[in-house]
Amino acid sequence: MTTDAKITLFHSPNTRSTGALVLLEELGAPYELHAVNMKAGDQRKPEYMAINPMGKVPAVKHGNALITEQGAIYIYLADLFPKAGLAPAIGDPSRGPYLRWMVYYGSCLEPAVVDKAMKREQAPLAMSPYGDFDTMLKTLSDQLKTGPYLFGERFTAADVLWGLAMKWMIAFKLLPERPEFVNYMERVTSRPMFKKIEAADAKMAAEHEAAAAKLK
């Protein structure tokens, strides 16, 4: 598939798809935005379930290919636009760690944070996908201590994923306000593209609220 095929991002404001939108902008990628009004429950309607049977955003269509799951979407898009320099290429020594942290997010951080938020007993160490919460968090702390980004001086697509996710997780008190978390999150999310999408999301969220209110 070439970059000529149309890229569509299915997006709801102030959700996990916000980061995918920031990434498309950071990549300078051409794309079409398809808004999913979650305030009106559009994510569970047949039209959207036909696109993503999980009823979740983000989802990306590139030509006929469907890409879901943040890690896959970020890896895919950043590789598709290599000139933006947001993905270490195959053969680059950072490629392995880059993939590790792209996947760590969805396979370790999110399940750990959700278990904790729900006050669910963690599975036995050997069964738990993230081991235990404190070790999972210390591994992240250690990675961020060198900085300024996940892989030192180089800003990558993984920082878009982690920076924004840490912003909402800290805001919802799902992650502790450790200096290395807060400093990193602020450094990443103060970039102009994040501010631009934050403003666009606020506008879209108000439009979605108004449209949903009319349906009641």
Ligand X SMILES: N[C@@H](CCC(=O)N[C@@H](CS)C(=O)NCC(=O)O)C(=O)O
Extract the tokens encoding 60: 């990306």
Question: Smallest distance from the beta carbon of 91 to ligand X, in angstroms?
Answer: 27
Indicate the residue among 38 and 137 with the shorter CB distance to ligand X.
38
Question: Smallest distance from the beta carbon of 106 to ligand X, in angstroms?
Answer: 5
Residues at the contact surface with ligand X, assessed by CB under 6 A: 15-16, 38, 43, 55-58, 69-70, 106
Indicate the residue among 69 and 198 with the shorter CB distance to ligand X.
69
Question: Smallest distance from the beta carbon of 54 to ligand X, in angstroms?
Answer: 7
The alpha-carbon radius of gyration of the chain (Å, integer) is: 18
Q: From CA 38, how far away is CA 147, in angstroms rounded? A: 36
| C-beta atoms surrounding 79 within 10 Å | 13
Indicate the residue among 33 and 89 with the shorter CB distance to ligand X.
33
Q: From CA 135, how far away is CA 126, in angstroms rounded? A: 13
Question: Smallest distance from the beta carbon of 153 to ligand X, in angstroms?
Answer: 27
Question: Smallest distance from the beta carbon of 31 to ligand X, in angstroms?
Answer: 17
Residues 6+ apart with CB under 8 A from 209: 39
Indicate the residue among 116 and 178 with the shorter CB distance to ligand X.
116
Indicate the residue among 8 and 178 with the shorter CB distance to ligand X.
8
Question: Smallest distance from the beta carbon of 152 to ligand X, in angstroms?
Answer: 26
Indicate the residue among 43 and 143 with the shorter CB distance to ligand X.
43
Q: From CA 184, how far away is CA 144, in angstroms rounded? A: 7
